[in-house]
Structure 1
Amino acid sequence: MSDQMLDHLQEETEEQVLHEGVHNFSSEREYVRPSNPTTLERLEWFKDQKLALMMHWGPYSQIGVVESWALSDEDQDWSREGIDWETDGEAFKRQYFDLNKTFNPIRFQPEEWAELAEENGFKYLIFTTKHHDGFCMWDTKTTEYRITGEQTPFHTHKYADVCRHVFDAFRAKGLAIAAYFSKADWHTPYYWAPDMERSLTNTRRGPTYDPQQHPELWNKFVNFTHEQITELLTEYGRIDVLWLDAGWVRPLRSGQDIRLGEVVEKAREHQPWLLSADRTVGGPYENYVTPEQTIPSEAMNIPWESNITMGTSFSFRYEDNYKPTRQIVRILLEVVAKGGNLALNVAPQPDGRLPAGAIKRMKELGAWLQVNGEAIYGTRICAPYFTGSQAFTQKGDAVYCSCLYPSADSEVSETIFIPFNDSLESVELIGMEGKLSWTREADGITVQLPAAAISENAPIAHVFRLLRK
């Protein structure tokens, strides 16, 4: 490929990184398989987990708007839709950056969050230590713009070091920890610093200066970033994943080289199990791929994780509309059948509690997983993967077929056709005792449902266990 064609491809990739705050994702052909045996082993562990609880939380939760993005003039058309009290963009940015002065989540419940997650089938946590706005949810030494800073009223609370208490609570329940960290930082003057002076005029996603023209300033930002990441990876216990956002911070084209490899490899000297998810960038530190608010159209044979909101937004929204449990299960089944994990985002309230509607959905999802989880956890892909109405997975000698019903009003037939042709020993319905009657067809099998499984209200899914000979 010529240099000109390579440049054009890279420009296309840069343009596709973001659309209205939603990241594109690296393709299977772009994936670089790690050579480190420990990393490969941990990726197999990762593929077993299937379900993560993702949490975006920070001072922005107080006003119920999208996290960080409204600060960028480049993104004002879509991100400032909910800002109906302030028409002046510069005044709004000052108000946003001052939200730390009123953030006081005195009903913060790390142990309750962790217990709810563990009881309802979540296997790891992805928690925002810092979003693009630069506010740090841990006791960093790099900036006063943090949850333990004196300007933040919560700094005197016993749970003031939020990340420490969240990480400790979830680890105590056996869940793994992924530290979400934005490589961009729109608060530090090392990143947004036009003319070397603090200003909020004409802000954009990237730095307000050219790193090549001002290498001394860029190096300050790199050192600042390394110090923050190092704090999280050395002072906050076991971290299983460094989950890196802001894919536009990359060496190619943008010239934003934060020398990521240096800090990751140094961290792996102490935490050799660490996975790195350098979103949309590709290369050796995007150990798994992260589709956002979408599911790939086809199964992928690489490690991946779809980040999908339970409601309409990653950040807390007042009176948000949460997806029905039936839809959440369908999303989980499609993701897993195509070889991925689901990171289900639930945003805490500004007072530190989880919304009642979100808790209800988590418990309903947990009840479904309590019965049918063996078709989810520890499985791998199995053709025909996902047909729209059926999801296939496999584990050992068992193949699982989850037959989905669109609504409770759907008709439940006495027989179900399953397009699977392997030689089978038996067919069972998960949640019921005994083997089912079935007959071989030219292109699959027809299974007879037991009378006890047929009702007026259709379940979310009938999940069959097909045991190979």
Structure 2
Amino acid sequence: MKKKKAALLIALVMSTCTAIAQQKTPKAVMDQFMDKRFGMFIHFGPVTQRGTEIGWSRNDQVAQADYDSLYHEFNPRLFNADVWVKTAKDAGMKYLVITAKHHDGFCLWPTAYSDYNVANSPFKRDIVGELAEACKKQDVTFCIYFTVLDWHDPDYPIHNPHDTTQSKGLGGNMTAFKTRMKNELREVITKYKPFMLWFDGYWEKPWTTADGKEIYQFIKSVDANVIVNNRLGKVNDKLDGDAVGDFLTPEQTIGKLNMNEPWESCITICNQWAWKPNDPMKSLKQCLQTLVTSASGNGNLLFNVGPAMDGHIEGRQVKRLQEMGAWLKLYGESIYGTQGGPYVPNETYGATRKGNKVYLHIFQRKDGTLSIPALANVKITKAYFMNGGAVIIKTDKDNYKIELPATLPDENCSVIVLELNKDAVNIPVIPVKA
């Protein structure tokens, strides 16, 4: 009898441990994240003194010894967390992600587990901590970027991503590396309370799917509600099978319409992720239509800026973000808290929906009439430009014919509201005709 009780107890403990290990982020938390739709990505570190790409320019444009010594001169005196966060808020961004630790291994917080951190630079201040506090004050959701590879860490087997011969005879100590990683993650989760952890660096041979699952389980043991992107594991285009994480992350491209899996596109406002002098910047039209197309595809946009070496965000980038914020003040209802569809976005328009409304985002006026597929078993009770006058809609066979004015209300993206006699969210996505 005692043996049976002991066996039952062991089975119960194992079952409980398995349940904890398999714990996923609650749907309510994921819905809260996806409702935000627009966030700021920030790539920043000592490499800004060279104007080259963070991490990737090590052993390439910048010699390793030089790159690894840049922190001795790192002193961004113009860094002001409140200004950075206000810039994001004025742009209409609802969350912020800072590169607390990129692939070069430098930590923007005073970690107890590595000397290669901001406390040992001339600047000394806790950049991650100051941003977390500023986000809290200004009601912007704080998130952290963290690498799963570290070319600076002696326990990580690869130290030069540009040397392809390192794939042979890998050394290092991945157990020690993961232990340090867990300690640093526990540190940032408990100290800064990030809403989401954004990982990258999954592609190199030493990092395995099993490693990703182990770290995901560890994160959930520290805070079950922390959202994790899908780059913690090896699979990067689906959330099924061996995928690790809670949402998909297409990079420098806008994700496709996906009503089943949450996703977020990460895209730069210029070309380079980290600051680069005279880096070409996207037009306001490009920026707005990138945001709208992301929302129309049922995804978020994480829009990147790279602050300059002295810690300020370039005035031209701030101005562009303010212009986006001005548009969102007028049309934000059609972005925040919406779902994509029922129309698949294209070069002419995109669509979002909420309640009994479909929001048609008009990117360009090709002629006087916009033709879109009619919604089956649905009646349009009212149609009008958001913040404007009524719109005339005629039905021709299987299509709506929407008469457009000679000049659209907004040259970058105008919004037509279709009020329906039923819940728009329940309308099936209309497939694109071949």
Would you say same fold, with TM above 0.5?
yes
Matches for 1:302-321 after TM superposition, within 5 Å: 302-321=261-280
Count of residue pairs brought into register by the alignment? 392
Could you tell me which residue of structure 2 aligns to residue 436 of structure 1?
391
Is 1:362 the counterpart of 2:349? The answer is: no
In the superposition, relative to structure 1, how do residues 419 and 161 fare at CA in structure 2: closer, same or farther (>3 Å)?
same
Distance 1:256 1:93 in 2: 26
Matches for 1:63-462 after TM superposition, within 5 Å: 63-71=50-58, 76=60, 80=61, 92-149=63-120, 152-155=121-124, 160-192=125-157, 203=163, 210=170, 217-236=173-192, 238-248=193-203, 254=206, 256=208, 259-279=211-231, 281-282=234-235, 283=242, 285-299=244-258, 301-405=260-364, 413=368, 415-421=369-375, 422-432=378-388, 434-449=389-404, 454-455=406-407, 459-462=411-414
Q: Secondary structure at the match of 2:220?
A: helix
**After superposition, what is the alpha-carbon deviation per residue over 1:271-313, rounded to whole angstroms, capped at 9, x for unaligned?**
3211111416244632101010012355453111111000011
Counterpart AA for 1:294: T
Counterpart AA for 1:189: P
Deviation at 1:115, TM superposition (A): 1.3
In the superposition, relative to structure 1, how do residues 110 and 258 fare at CA in structure 2: closer, same or farther (>3 Å)?
farther
Deviation at 1:435, TM superposition (A): 3.4
Distance 2:355 2:295 in 1: 16
Counterpart AA for 1:247: Y
Counterpart AA for 1:420: A
* Preserved contact between residue 411 and residue 458 of structure 1 (Cα < 8 Å): no
Question: What TM-score do you get using the length of structure 2 for normalisation?
Answer: 0.83
Distance 1:210 1:378 in 2: 47
In the superposition, relative to structure 1, how do residues 317 and 300 fare at CA in structure 2: closer, same or farther (>3 Å)?
farther
Distance 1:37 1:224 in 2: 24
Counterpart AA for 2:92: G
Deviation at 1:140, TM superposition (A): 0.2
Distance 2:49 2:207 in 1: 35
Distance 1:242 1:459 in 2: 36
Counterpart AA for 2:170: D
Distance 1:456 1:371 in 2: 15
Deviation at 1:443, TM superposition (A): 2.7
Could you tell me which residue of structure 2 aligns to residue 11 of structure 1?
none
Deviation at 1:418, TM superposition (A): 3.6
Question: What TM-score do you get using the length of structure 1 for normalisation?
Answer: 0.77
Deviation at 1:241, TM superposition (A): 1.0
**After superposition, what is the alpha-carbon deviation per residue over 1:182-213, rounded to whole angstroms, capped at 9, x for unaligned?**
111111111157xxxxx8797469788536xx
* Preserved contact between residue 56 and residue 314 of structure 1 (Cα < 8 Å): yes
Distance 1:230 1:351 in 2: 30
* Preserved contact between residue 89 and residue 140 of structure 2 (Cα < 8 Å): yes
In the superposition, relative to structure 1, how do residues 267 and 426 fare at CA in structure 2: closer, same or farther (>3 Å)?
same
Distance 1:35 1:396 in 2: 34
Distance 1:256 1:169 in 2: 36
* Preserved contact between residue 257 and residue 340 of structure 2 (Cα < 8 Å): no
Distance 2:117 2:100 in 1: 10
Matches for 1:36-75 after TM superposition, within 5 Å: 36=23, 38-71=25-58
Distance 2:253 2:176 in 1: 36
In the superposition, relative to structure 1, how do residues 423 and 56 fare at CA in structure 2: closer, same or farther (>3 Å)?
same
In the superposition, relative to structure 1, how do residues 269 and 36 fare at CA in structure 2: closer, same or farther (>3 Å)?
closer
Could you tell me which residue of structure 2 aligns to residue 29 of structure 1?
none
Counterpart AA for 2:123: F
Distance 1:202 1:115 in 2: 38
Distance 1:343 1:233 in 2: 21
Counterpart AA for 2:234: V
Distance 2:351 2:207 in 1: 43
Distance 1:292 1:200 in 2: 23
* Preserved contact between residue 247 and residue 278 of structure 1 (Cα < 8 Å): no
Distance 2:138 2:161 in 1: 46
Deviation at 1:270, TM superposition (A): 4.6
* Preserved contact between residue 342 and residue 351 of structure 2 (Cα < 8 Å): yes
Distance 2:101 2:82 in 1: 21
Distance 1:412 1:461 in 2: 16
Distance 1:255 1:64 in 2: 29
Indicate the percent of aligned positions where both proteins have the same amino acid: 27
* Preserved contact between residue 139 and residue 148 of structure 1 (Cα < 8 Å): yes
Distance 2:116 2:258 in 1: 42
Counterpart AA for 1:140: T
Q: Secondary structure at the match of 1:333?
A: helix
RMSD, aligned α-carbons: 2.7
**After superposition, what is the alpha-carbon deviation per residue over 1:12-59, rounded to whole angstroms, capped at 9, x for unaligned?**
xxxxxxxxxxxxxxxxxxxxxx97575222221122111110000001
Distance 2:90 2:148 in 1: 33
Deviation at 1:326, TM superposition (A): 0.5
Is 1:464 the counterpart of 2:416? The answer is: yes
Q: Secondary structure at the match of 2:105?
A: coil
In the superposition, relative to structure 1, how do residues 257 and 392 fare at CA in structure 2: closer, same or farther (>3 Å)?
closer
**After superposition, what is the alpha-carbon deviation per residue over 1:121-173, rounded to whole angstroms, capped at 9, x for unaligned?**
10111110011100000110111111111xx1111xxxx00000011111221
Distance 1:333 1:420 in 2: 21
In the superposition, relative to structure 1, how do residues 292 and 257 fare at CA in structure 2: closer, same or farther (>3 Å)?
closer
In the superposition, relative to structure 1, how do residues 316 and 379 fare at CA in structure 2: closer, same or farther (>3 Å)?
same
* Preserved contact between residue 299 and residue 337 of structure 1 (Cα < 8 Å): no
